[in-house]
Amino acid sequence: MDKKQVVNVWYVLMAVLALLFFQNWWVEQREVETLPYSAFEKLLTEGGIDKMSVGSTVIEGTLKKATADGRTGFRTVIVNPALAEQFAKYDVQYSGVVHSTFFSDLLSWIVPMVVFFFLWMFFIRKMAEKQGFGGLTAIGKSKAKVYVERDTKTTFDDVAGVDEAKEELEEIVDFLKNPKAHGRLGARVPKGVLLLGPPGTGKTLLARAVAGEAGVPFFSMNGSEFVEMFVGVGAARVRDLFEQARKQAPCIIFIDELDALGRSRSLAPMGGHDEKEQTLNQLLVELDGFDPGTGIVLLASTNRPEILDPALLRAGRFDRHVLVDRPDRIGRAAILGVHLKEKALDPSVDAEAVASLTPGFTGADLANLVNEAALIATRRDAAAISMADFTQGVERIVAGLEKKNRLLNPREREIVAFHEMGHALIGMALPGIDVVHKVSIIPRGVGALGYTIQRPTEDRFLMSRAELENKMAVLLGGRTAERLVFDEISTGAADDLAKVTDIARAMVARYGMIDALGNVAYEEERRSLLGPAEFQAPSPRKYSEATAREIDTAVRDLVAAASARARTLLEANRALLDRSARLLLDRETLDEAELKAFAAEVKKAA
What are the residue numbers of the active site? 420
Angle between helices 410-429 and 574-587 (to 10 degrees): 130
Task: Tell me the three state secondary structure of residue 55.
Answer: coil
**Which CB contacts under 8 angstroms, 24+ apart, belong to 514-518?**
514/554, 516/550, 516/554, 517/547, 517/550, 517/551, 517/554
Instruction: Give the helix, strand, coil percentages of the chain, each rounded to 5.
Output: 55, 10, 35
What element of type H or E holds 58? strand 58-63
Please tell me whether the peptide bond between 347 and the residue prior to it is cis, using omega within 30 degrees of 0. no
Given a contact cutoff of 8 angstroms between Cβ atoms, the answer to whether 198 and 530 are in contact is yes
Residue 480, amino acid: T
Q: What is the DSSP letter of 541?
A: P
Measured in whole angstroms, the distance separating CA 389 from the mean position of its chain's CA atoms is: 31
The secondary structure of 189-212 as a DSSP string is --SEEEEE--TTSSHHHHHHHHHH
List of residues 6+ apart from 6 with CB closer than 8 A: none
Torsion of CA 541, 543, 546, 547, to 10 degrees: -100
Phi, psi of 408, rounded to the nearest 5 degrees: -100, 145
**Maximum CA pair distance of the chain?**
143
Distance CA(5)–CA(524), nearest Å, equals 63
